[in-house]
Structure 1
Amino acid sequence: MNKQQPNHEPAMGIPVVEPSAPSYAPHNQSNAHVGSFSTGLCDCFSDASLCCMTCWCPCITFGRIAEIVDRGSSSCGVSGALYALIFGLTGCQCVYSCAYRSKMKAQFNMPENNCEDCCIHFWCEFCALCQEYRELQHRGYDLALGWHGNLEKQNQGTMMHPPMPSGMTR
């Protein structure tokens, strides 16, 4: 539950509220997923469209994951293009994507095992990307919307509009 406490009132008498959580988290995020992935590494075919997208164009899957994990500081297009460039030039895109797996696990308080994560991305790159994508979906993100789209989706209807003056109008 996200409780907010007014910390002071400025001259206008409107309380200033500082959020208790420093970053966006969808409303339906639960603590049930803390500790491990909500789906297995080899559950790729539970979402056939994701599996196909990742198989034919992993840069899109990775770009979407990176945008959410980076909390909007990098775009899907830039991250995906960098992934494709690293893949094309070196074939070692797994090192780049593994770093995001570790970052995501740290954000969600999941146990980190860098050696295991690197091996997973080296030997099962597409399965790892699918698992990370599904994990973010299970935590309430719509990866196709991107970070800012998820923020807008969460904030729909919660925006407060200033009161309109009553009385005669022209």
Structure 2
Amino acid sequence: MDIDHRHRPQQHTWNNGLCNCGEDVSTCFVTCLLPCVTFGQIAEVVDEGKSSCVGQGIIYGLAMMIQCHWLCSCMYREKLRSKFGLRGDACGDCCIHCCCEPCALCQEHAELKSRGYNPSIGWIGPPNAPPVQMMPPSMNK
């Protein structure tokens, strides 16, 4: 069976390694103590604001109670890879999240930051979008 490689989308490498947690100590610290926060931030940005950080964080926290939280984050790793054309596959995503959940979450958070997003402040639009103009308080009447 001959596979035509011309029709397969180009896969890019990750900008951040799996074990680069030390580059952003605050994200590493939060992820180790409260992984549901980091997961919620990632999910909100990957879903482009269609889901909330709080809602996704609660789902992740509930999944932690029955030790299947890595399945939630595995699905979002696949979405993130698909969104940016990153190398990997579903089996690898599951293995990474099952065996090294904090490192995987830190890598995904760092990947979003390296692409111009800031998961810590939530979804505010694409990085190259013009800033949202806020009305002065006197005009909100």
How many correspondences in the alignment? 123
Distance 1:77 1:40, change over 3 A: same
Q: Which residue of 2 aligns with 1:76?
A: 53
Distance 1:157 1:52, change over 3 A: closer
**What is the TM-score when the length of structure 1 is the normalising length?**
0.68
**Structure exhibiting the larger radius of gyration computed from Cα positions:** 1
Q: State, as a whole percentage, how many aligned pairs show the same letter.
A: 44
Q: What's the CA shift for 1:112?
A: 3.2
Q: Which residue of 2 aligns with 1:156?
A: 131
1:110 aligns with 2:94: no
**2:39–2:73 CA contact under 8 A, matched in 1:** yes
Distance 1:114 1:157, change over 3 A: closer
Q: Output the amino acid matched with 2:68.
A: C
- Select between 117-126 and 107-116 the one with higher mean Cα deviation: 107-116
Q: Which residue of 2 aligns with 1:142?
A: 118
Q: Which residue of 2 aligns with 1:60?
A: 37
Distance 1:145 1:154, change over 3 A: farther
Q: Output the amino acid matched with 2:101.
A: E
SS of corresponding position for 1:78? helix
User: CA offsets per residue over residues 6-47 of structure 1, 9 Å max, x none?
Assistant: xxxxxxxxxxxxxxxxxxxxxxxxxxxx60211110111111
**1:142–1:150 CA contact under 8 A, matched in 2:** no
Aligned ranges for residues 23-34 of structure 1 at < 5 Å? none
Distance 1:157 1:105, change over 3 A: closer
1:122 aligns with 2:86: no
Q: Which residue of 2 aligns with 1:47?
A: 24
Cα distance in 1 between the residues matched to 2:91 and 2:100:
14
**What is the TM-score when the length of structure 2 is the normalising length?**
0.81
Q: What's the CA shift for 1:153?
A: 8.7
Question: Which stretches in structure 1 are left out of the alignment for 5+ residues?
Answer: 1-33, 159-170
The alignment's C-alpha RMSD in Å is 1.9
**1:106–1:112 CA contact under 8 A, matched in 2:** no
Cα distance in 2 between the residues matched to 1:105 and 1:75:
20
Question: Which stretches in structure 2 are left out of the alignment for 5+ residues?
Answer: 1-10, 134-141
User: CA offsets per residue over residues 73-118 of structure 1, 9 Å max, x none?
Assistant: 1000000010001101x11100110000001100101133111111
Higher relative CO (Cα under 8 Å, sequence separation at least 6) belongs to 2
Q: Output the amino acid matched with 1:64.
A: Q
Which has a greater percent of helix? 2
